[in-house]
Amino acid sequence: MSLLEVENLVVEFQTASGPFRAVDGVSLKVNAGEVLAIVGESGSGKSVSMLAAMGLLPWTAKVTADKLTFNGRDMLAMSDNDRRKIIGKDIAMIFQEPVASLNPCFTVGFQIEEVLRFHTDLGKKARRDRAIELFNAVGIPNPEERLGHYPHQMSGGQCQRVMIATALACNPKLLIADEPTTALDVTIQKQILDLLMRLQAEHNMGLIIITHNMGVVAETADRVIVQYKGRKIEEADVLSLFESPKSAYTKALLSALPDNATGDRLPTIAEFLTDQQIFEGAVR
């Protein structure tokens, strides 16, 4: 049994100009200990599909799926209350903008201990010890002191480490990382990715990494899903995707890597592919 199973996920937003389909029939599976990468350009519905799986979309979104289970439990049929016992504990998520993702009005210690307070029966002292342990695990120096800091006193990389520590607080089975490094400096990106991969291996977590960056995919993923305009275009394990991409879109994506650029500028996808050509090769 897979950890997360999604079949034919559709998300529609009500907008001022009528309904808008942000995710259109996406299916995916993640197993324990597996790293799945979802790639696709901006607006292709990567974040929305993951938020839908966690039940975090605003009420303007209509979510339907043939199947949406975590650990065998139906997440769609579940009551909000039951779902809240799972998310933050067994499924955790970290986001693109680490600084904005932390509440500016509370210390980071408060924000990490809060998770422990709601999802475990640890006492005050035990929660603090656990928070220190987590800060150590994600490589934040001086954890005792840092716990009393506010997010604006920390750098972006530090904030992302705090987010990771918070996500790991209850030893989740699945971690969803939504572009965890996009907002960070290049040097820090590498550190954060390494940290994520190390922790994933240590805890044998399922990990979904959302990214634009094919380099990140190559470095981290076991399996890859390519998404375009809310649809799944291709799914493959990472080696075969890079060696023999099936769809025209993936080929185009790969050729858009700076390494493959010819001439002095990078090509854009729309320059040589129409939507129709893209969807033709799509898998379901």
Partner 1 sequence: MTVVETTKNPPTGIAEFWFYFSRNKGAVIGLAVFLIILFMAVFAPFVAPHDPSIQNREMLLLPPVLSEGGQASYLLGTDAVGRDIFSRLIYGARFSLFIGVIVVTLSVISGVLVGLVAGYFRGKVDTVIMRVMDIILAFPSLLLALVLVAVLGPGLVNAMIAISLVNLPHFVRLTRAAVMTERAKDYVIASKVAGAGTLRLMFLTILPNCLAPLIVQATLAFSAAILDAAALGFLGMGAQPPTPEWGTMLAEAREFIQRAWWVVTFPGLAILITVLAINLMGDGLRDALDPKLKRS
Partner 2 sequence: MTGGSKTFGPPVFQRKKGLAPMLRFIFGRLAVLIPTFLGVSLIAFSFIRLLPGDPVMLMSGERVMSPERHTELMNQLGLDRPMYVQYFDYLGGLLTGDFGSSIVTKRPVLDDFVNLFPATLELSLCAIILAVALGIPAGVLAAVKRGTWLDQTIMGSALVGYSMPIFWWGLLLIIFFSGYLGWTPVSGRISLMYFFPQVTGFMLIDSLISGQAGAFKSALTYLILPTIVLATIPLAVIARQTRSAMLEVLGEDYVRTARAKGMSPFRVIGVHALRNALIPVITTIGLQVGVLLAGAILTETIFSWPGIGKWMVDSVFKRDYAVVQGGLMLIAGMIMLVNLLVDVLYGLVNPRIRH
Task: Give residues in contact with partner 1 (CB under 8 A).
Answer: 13, 15-17, 20
Identity of the residue, 29 or 119, whose beta carbon is nearer to partner 2 in the bound complex = 119
The CA distances from residue 49 to 143, 220, 229, 234, in Å, are 34, 21, 12, 16
Q: Examine residue 73 and tell whether it contacts partner 2 (CB under 8 A).
A: no
31 alpha carbon, distance to own chain's centre: 15
Q: Examine residue 49 and tell whether it contacts Mg ion (CB under 5 A).
A: no
Q: Residues 95, 135, 228, 249: which binds partner 2 (CB under 8 A)?
A: 95
Measured from the CB of residue 42, what is the shortest distance to Mg ion in angstroms?
A: 7
Q: Examine residue 148 and tell whether it contacts ligand ATP (CB under 6 A).
A: no
Q: Do 80 and 55 contact (CB within 8 A), yes or no?
A: yes
Identity of the residue, 49 or 166, whose beta carbon is nearer to partner 1 in the bound complex = 49
The CA distances from residue 139 to 43, 61, 97, 200, 231, in Å, are 33, 37, 19, 15, 37
Identity of the residue, 53 or 253, whose beta carbon is nearer to partner 2 in the bound complex = 53
Q: Do 178 and 96 contact (CB within 8 A), yes or no?
A: yes
State the number of binding residues for partner 2 (CB under 8 A).
38
Element (H, E) at 242: helix 238-243
Pairwise CA distance, residues 179 & 177, whole Å: 6
Alpha helices, DSSP H, located in 140-208: 143-146, 156-168, 186-203
Q: Of residues 188-217, which lie at the interface with partner 2 (CB under 8 A)?
A: none
Identity of the residue, 50 or 248, whose beta carbon is nearer to partner 2 in the bound complex = 50
Identity of the residue, 13 or 110, whose beta carbon is nearer to ligand ATP in the bound complex = 13
Pairwise CA distance, residues 20 & 43, whole Å: 12
Measured from the CB of residue 262, what is the shortest distance to ligand ATP in angstroms?
A: 26
Q: Examine residue 272 and tell whether it contacts partner 2 (CB under 8 A).
A: no
Q: Residues 1, 16, 17, 42: which binds ligand ATP (CB under 6 A)?
A: 42
